[in-house]
Chains A and B, each alone.
Chain A
Amino acid sequence: MSYDHDHHHDHSELSETELRVRALETILTEKGYIEPAALDAIIQAYETKIGPHNGARVVAKAWTDPAFKTALLQDGSKAIGTLGHISRVGDHLVVVENTPERHNMVVCTLCSCYPWEMLGLPPVWYKAAPYRSRAVKDPRGVLADFGIALPKDVEIRVWDSTAETRFLVLPMRPAGTEGWSEEQLAELVTRDSMIGTGFPRTPGAPS
């Protein structure tokens, strides 16, 4: 999507939006529906409490703890709930495992459903038309846009998030990480690897 475009060619539209947003907040405040400080606190919470670091810790734990991995694939919300220290996750989280035979990819063709607690707010591309339109029809073409390719015979499974269930991909553990700690492994887990549009970093590669 085109924020750059807006900035370069349509600056007046953006300013108008800014003014309208401010006016709406003023009205909601004057009517006593909201308190601006509460909005500040919501924004601060999103900026600090959620993000792909949460998902990365879950993935790293699954890579090192087979019992946790089994529980995670059985009931994602329940298994993550037992970790406690991770941002509280809502119900209905389904964790899907990549294997040498199957690669999973998550999309929301109808809007922008995404596991916020695990991955943070979705990036613009996830919410934009190119990804939403093509992921279910030409996922290999989409992966090519991300600069990655799958072997020809690997099944590709696309999960369209059409309800309040949320999906998190459990990527394959990179080779050459035997004996690594959970903390070290978590550093390899990228946001995109948990959406299915990327792979984890490989040991020694620049991050």
Chain B
Amino acid sequence: MNGVHDMGGMDGFGKVEPEPNEPMFHAEWESRVLAMVRAMGAAGAFNIDTSRFYRETLPPHVYLSSSYYKKWFLGLEEMLIDKGYLTREEVAAGHAMQPAKALKHGKFDRANVERVMVRGKFDRPAPAPAKFKIGDRVRARNIHPATHTRLPRYVRGHVGVVELNHGCHVFPDTAAMERGENPQWLYTVVFEGRDLWGEDGDPTLKVSIDAFEPYLEPA
């Protein structure tokens, strides 16, 4: 979706402001939100792409004015309601009122903690040979799906070169919508800065994205 989360190349957000000696969390509730997202994800309530999609679909003014973990919280609550794990009535009451929905991997207890500390595997057996090889010139397709995609707007329509092939990975566009893992070849595609930003762009800049095969066409 063409949401405000797709920020590459936007102007007007001001300077980057690193915080010296930044703490891991700025308030205790942030750590609880992080842990709830990790726990409910590991228990099988949702996949990582679906959770990203729920943050992206927050109303633009909410997305832009909420802190990072506030977005995580709002996305989590909405997603758990949509998926039937809790109800708005329960959220309003602050207590459980309905029977629980079964979780794919069961209750998240202490025995599961070690599991969330290692990243999942996203590569899958290839359903078909790769269409592109390293060195190929490819165009990022001019597509504008209204649902989740990982093809940023700033590269669409531009020509780049395939630099790396990462094998076949879970396709976020379908996984986010719970329409299957649908594995696709994944490539690093590099673009010249001036192709993206025009003649005034930095001549020393090259930008790469990791692009799933359906995002690309021969150029």
Chain A residues within CB distance 8 Å of chain B? 1-3, 6, 14, 17-18, 20-28, 30-35, 37-43, 45-47, 49-50, 87-92, 94, 107, 109-112, 116-117, 120-121, 123-125, 127-140, 142, 145-146, 152-166, 192
Contact = CB atoms under 8 A, between A and B. Distances in A.
A24 B67 contact: no
A38 B108 contact: yes
A134 B193 CA distance: 12
Given A91-B121, A163-B150, A163-B169, A39 B35 contact: yes
B179 interface: no
B33 A112 contact: no
A35 B110 contact: yes
Contacts of B152: 109-110, 160, 162
Contact of B85 (A31, A120, A125): A31
B123 to A, nearest CB: 7
Given A110-B6, A156-B202, A162 B211 contact: yes
Interface of B: 5-11, 13-19, 22, 24, 26-27, 29, 31-36, 38-40, 43, 45, 48, 52, 55, 64, 67-68, 70, 73, 76-77, 80, 85-86, 90-91, 94-96, 100, 103, 107-110, 112-113, 116-123, 150-152, 154, 164, 166, 169-170, 172, 186, 188, 190, 196-197, 201-202, 204-212
Nearest to A30: B96
A110 B76 CA distance: 18
22 contacts: A17-B29, A24-B73, A31-B85, A34-B43, A38-B39, A38-B109, A39-B39, A46-B24, A47-B24, A50-B117, A90-B120, A123-B18, A123-B22, A124-B19, A124-B22, A128-B13, A133-B11, A134-B13, A137-B8, A154-B204, A164-B119, A192-B18
